[in-house]
Structure 1
Amino acid sequence: MSYLEGVEGVEGVEGVEGVEGVEGVEGVGAFARSPVSSLIAHREGIVGYWVTPVNPPAWNSAPLDPADPNSGSMRGPLERWDPRIRRFVFEFELLSSLYFVFEAPQVGGVAQPRATLYSMQQTNGGVSSSTPPTGSWTSFVTMIRPDEPKLLRQLDFLNGYADLRADRAREIVAQMSPQYAFWNSVVPIYPDRHRYTLELIGMVLRLAKYAEMQFKNALCVRRPDEYSPQIQPILQTPPHGSMPSGHSTEAHAVARVLSRLILNATGTTVASRLLLHQQLMRQAARIAINRTVAGLHYPVDSMAGQALGLAVGDYFVARAKGGGMVDFWTFDGTAYPGDQDFTGGEIYDVAQDDRIFPVAGYLAKGNAQFSVDAAPKLKWLWDLAAREWA
Structure 2
Amino acid sequence: MVVPDFSDPLVAAVQLGPMVDNMINERPVSVAELLAQADYAGAYWANLLAMNPATKPNSFILLSVAYTIGQMVGMYFKDFFGVARPVHLIPTLVTSIPTPAHPSFPSNHSLQNHLVLQLLTAAMPDGEAGHLFPYMQLLTDRLARNREVAGVHFRADTDAGRDIAAWLWTRHLSLMPAVTDVINAAKSEWSDRVGVQELNIGT
TM-score interval w.r.t. the shorter chain? 0.7 to 0.9
Q: What value does the CA root-mean-square deviation take over the aligned residues?
A: 2.0
**Letter paired with 2:185:** L
Whole-angstrom distance in 2 between the partners of 1:317 and 1:376: 8
Structure 2: gaps of 5 or more residues: 192-203
Shift of 1:187: 1.1
- Which residue of structure 1 aligns with residue 53 of structure 2? 191
Shift of 1:232: 1.4
**SS of residue matched to 1:211:** helix
- Which residue of structure 2 aligns with residue 100 of structure 1? none
Q: 1:146 aligned to 2:4? A: yes
Question: Mapping of 1:349-388 within 5 angstroms?
Answer: 375-388=176-189
- Which residue of structure 1 aligns with residue 196 of structure 2? none
Tell me the TM-score normalised to structure 1 length. Answer: 0.45
Q: 1:209 aligned to 2:71? A: yes
- Which residue of structure 2 aligns with residue 161 of structure 1? 22
Question: Mapping of 1:130-145 within 5 angstroms?
Answer: 143-145=1-3
Shift of 1:250: 0.7
More helix by share: 2
Whole-angstrom distance in 1 between the partners of 2:52 and 2:172: 23
Shift of 1:231: 0.8
**SS of residue matched to 2:124:** helix
Say if 2:117 and 2:136, in contact at 8 Å, map to a contact too.
yes
Provide, for residues 152-205 of structure 1, a one-character-per-residue CA deviation record: whole Å limited to 9, x for no partner. Answer: 321111000112112111111111122122112321212211112101220122
- Which residue of structure 1 aligns with residue 137 of structure 2? 281
Say if 1:259 and 1:276, in contact at 8 Å, map to a contact too.
no
Greater relative contact order structure (CA < 8 Å, 6+ sep) = 2
Q: Which of 243, 260, 274 is the equivalent residue of 2:105?
A: 243
Say if 1:152 and 1:227, in contact at 8 Å, map to a contact too.
no
Say if 1:254 and 1:313, in contact at 8 Å, map to a contact too.
no
Shift of 1:242: 0.6
- Which residue of structure 1 aligns with residue 116 of structure 2? 254
Say if 2:67 and 2:112, in contact at 8 Å, map to a contact too.
yes
**SS of residue matched to 2:125:** helix
In structure 2, relative to structure 1, the CA distance for the partners of 1:382 and 1:184 (3 Å cut) is same
Tell me the TM-score normalised to structure 2 length. Answer: 0.83
Structure 1: gaps of 5 or more residues: 1-142, 320-374
Shift of 1:284: 0.9
Whole-angstrom distance in 1 between the partners of 2:47 and 2:171: 26
Shift of 1:310: 2.4
Whole-angstrom distance in 1 between the partners of 2:32 and 2:16: 23
Shift of 1:218: 0.6
Q: List structure 1 segments (4+ residues) > 4 angstroms apart after TM superposition.
A: none
Name which one, 1 or 2, has greater alpha-carbon Rg. 1
Whole-angstrom distance in 2 between the partners of 1:144 and 1:218: 14
Aligned residues: 187
**Letter paired with 1:277:** F
**Letter paired with 2:26:** L
Provide, for residues 70-120 of structure 1, a one-character-per-residue CA deviation record: whole Å limited to 9, x for no partner. Answer: xxxxxxxxxxxxxxxxxxxxxxxxxxxxxxxxxxxxxxxxxxxxxxxxxxx
- Which residue of structure 1 aligns with residue 201 of structure 2? none
In structure 2, relative to structure 1, the CA distance for the partners of 1:263 and 1:314 (3 Å cut) is farther
- Which residue of structure 1 aligns with residue 200 of structure 2? none
More strand by share: 1
Say if 1:155 and 1:298, in contact at 8 Å, map to a contact too.
yes
